[in-house]
Chain A
Amino acid sequence: MFQDLLNTPLSTVVLITGFILVLIGLWGMLMHKNIIRIIVGFTLMDTGIHMVMVAIGYLTGGKAPIIEGANKNIVYVDPVPSALVLTSIVIGLGITAIMLSYAIQIHKAKKSLSIDDCAEMKW
């Protein structure tokens, strides 16, 4: 049993860690009242999804896709998920920054960061 765990391929470990991070982030977003904590949950989920995408792009024995010479025998990992994750990180950063500035405005208007105080749109 323990030996099996030690033999788990690294990409599987990254994949499972990513899924666990997504779950932790989702739990944080659903259960917390504080807006800052909800944003932290969102970023955790974001990071988890990035890890899953990178793990899916991995090939057995693959190297980072930086070509050194004309050697045909080297296996390179899939460059497309890496490129997509790069895009996704930048967009996640933009969204997080927007959310934080909304949090600042909410705090200015209501002097509180709890979502219970933002009940205008609740039904």
Chain B
Amino acid sequence: MLKKFFAALALFIVAIMFYDIASNYQERQQLSGVAQYYVEKGPSELGAANLVTSVVVTYRGLDTLGEVTVLFISAAGIGLLLRRQRDDKDPSPQKDNAPCSEIVDTAFHLLFPMILLFGIYIFVNGHLTPGGGFQGGAVIASGMMLYLLAKPNNTFNLQLLKKIESFSGSAYVLIGALGLFLAGGFLDNRVLSLGEFGSLFSAGLIPVIYVLIGLKVGAELSSVLTKFRDS
């Protein structure tokens, strides 16, 4: 009872705080200084139509590197937490899962290639349309989830996933470091030419970096899904 009272009190105080913010909220009419700079100079400086992408990948590229690192560390932590204990090593782990239903199996054969293709489309076009590496990687991982549901006794080649992940992670950092020598600084995208604004091969390194991030996130999330399934 007392616990409920204190929880309600805490909630009430937070609600008062939120009410104060919400009642004083007015839609802004102008961009703040740095956002103004991004909107005005972003397209001509970096050549990416999607401004969110140019903020994420180039202007605040270091944040994105940190973000990828956080995702990597959490995947590694899950691998550590869900590893098989030494004492329960049976030679063929869980080969007796019930097969999936007809509907899931048919849907898998129809949808799986399309989901993968859609994920690739999202991260390749990240600098032109809403989307990007993380979103595309998540879509690919959802396709892998469908695979795991449709084939309960199969598993992914975890070594291959690990190789894709470490390759794209290190290539991301190396390409970023290339900017130190050939352009303005770390993760600068102007190493390649900016190309024609709004076309697929434009915006310098941004599509390359997003393809690498998409591969890395897709591989990472797929291995996380496999570990959750097998634990």
Contacts from A to B (Cβ < 8 Å)? 9, 11-12, 15-16, 19, 22-23, 26-27, 30-31, 55-56, 58-60, 64-68, 76, 78-80, 82-83, 86-87, 89-91, 93-95, 97-98, 100-102, 104-105
Partner of A12, one of B18, B22, B28, B35: B22
Any A CB within 8 A of the CB of B55: yes
Contact B82 A104, beta carbon cutoff 8 Å: yes
Chain-A contact segment, one of B70-78, B111-119, B151-159: B70-78
Q: How far is the CB of B142 from chain A (nearest CB, A)?
A: 12
Residues of chain A within 8 A of B108, CB atoms compared? none
Contact A23 B22, beta carbon cutoff 8 Å: no
Partner of B132, one of A16, A68, A86, A97: A86
Is the interface on chain B under 10, 10 to 19, 20 to 34, or 35 or more residues?
35 or more
Q: How far is the CA of A31 from the CA of B81 in the complex (A)?
A: 27
Contact A67 B70, beta carbon cutoff 8 Å: no
User: Which secondary structure characterizes the binding site on chain B?
Assistant: helix
Residue from the set A11, A12, A58, A86 with the largest chain B CB neighbour count within 10 Å: A86
Contact B10 A87, beta carbon cutoff 8 Å: no
- Closest partner residue, chain B, to A16 (CB atom): B22
Contact B22 A11, beta carbon cutoff 8 Å: no
Task: Give 8 closest A-B pairs by Cβ, nearest first.
Answer: A94-B74, A65-B51, A30-B7, A19-B18, A83-B55, A79-B51, A101-B81, A78-B35
A15-B22 CB under 8 A given contacts A59-B30, A67-B43, A67-B51: yes
Q: Given A86-B56, A91-B67, 19 other A-B contacts at CB below 8 A? A: A9-B27, A12-B25, A12-B27, A19-B21, A23-B15, A30-B7, A60-B28, A65-B51, A65-B52, A67-B51, A68-B49, A78-B31, A79-B39, A83-B60, A94-B74, A97-B228, A100-B228, A101-B227, A105-B81
Residues of chain B within 8 A of A26, CB atoms compared? 10-11, 14
Provide a sorted-by-A list of 16 A–B residue pairs whose CB atoms are within 8 angstroms: A12-B22, A22-B18, A30-B10, A59-B28, A65-B51, A66-B50, A67-B49, A76-B31, A78-B31, A79-B42, A80-B55, A94-B73, A94-B75, A95-B74, A97-B78, A104-B228
